[in-house]
Amino acid sequence: MDFDRWLQRFVSRIEKFLFRGTLLFIVFLFVVQALMTQNTIRQLFSTTDQFEGRPLIEEVQEAFGRSIVEENRYAVLIEAVYPPGNAQTLIILQNGKVSGELTDEPLRLAVNPGDMLEVFGSVAGGTPAVVRVKKVEGSLSQPLPGYEIATFGERELLAWIIP
C-alpha cells in the first residue's frame, strides 16, 4: 500500500469530519441563541436571569431574625428648574421604571442602595432644564445635595444611590 495515498485519504476523512463538526456546532450555536430570546427558556438555562430583579441580600437574616436591609431608609428630594415659556415634561426613572414626574414641586423618592435614577422626557427650545438633587435623607455618599444636570430630556443618568 502506498503511504502517500493512504495519508491523503486519511487527511481528507479527517478534514470532512472536522468541517461537518464545525458546521454542526455553528448551527447548534444559532439554534441556542434563538432559543435564548424566549424568557422561559432563558430562565431555565441562565443562572444570571434566575436572580435578576431580586436583591440577594434581602433574603439573608441576622441571628436574631431581623432583616439586614431596612427598606426605604434613604430618600432623595429632586427638583427641576425649567426654562421660561417652553413646553416641558420630565420624568424620573428609578431602575428603569417610572417613579414620578417633575413638576413645580420637588419630588421625594424613597430609594435603596444600588438604585439608579435617570431623567427622561422633553424640553422644547434652546435652553435646557436643570434637574437638581435638593436634599438627601439618610447617610448617602452619592448623590450629594446640590448635584445637578442640565438636560433637554434625553435619557440621562442623574444618580446612583451609594450609601
> What's the domain count of the chain?
2
The per-residue pLDDT for 66 is: 46
User: Per-residue pLDDT tens for 2-30?
Assistant: 899 999 999 999 999 999 999 999 999 99
The per-residue pLDDT for 63 is: 43
43 and 84 housed in the same domain: no
What domain range includes position 7? 3-50
User: Per-residue pLDDT tens for 114-132?
Assistant: 899 999 888 887 888 899 9
The per-residue pLDDT for 49 is: 67
CB 148 within 8 A of CB 133: yes
- Kindly state whether residue 58 falls inside one of the protein's structural domains: no
User: Per-residue pLDDT tens for 54-79?
Assistant: 555 554 444 444 444 455 589 999 99
The candidate with the shortest Cα–Cα distance to 120, out of 77, 160, 158, is 158
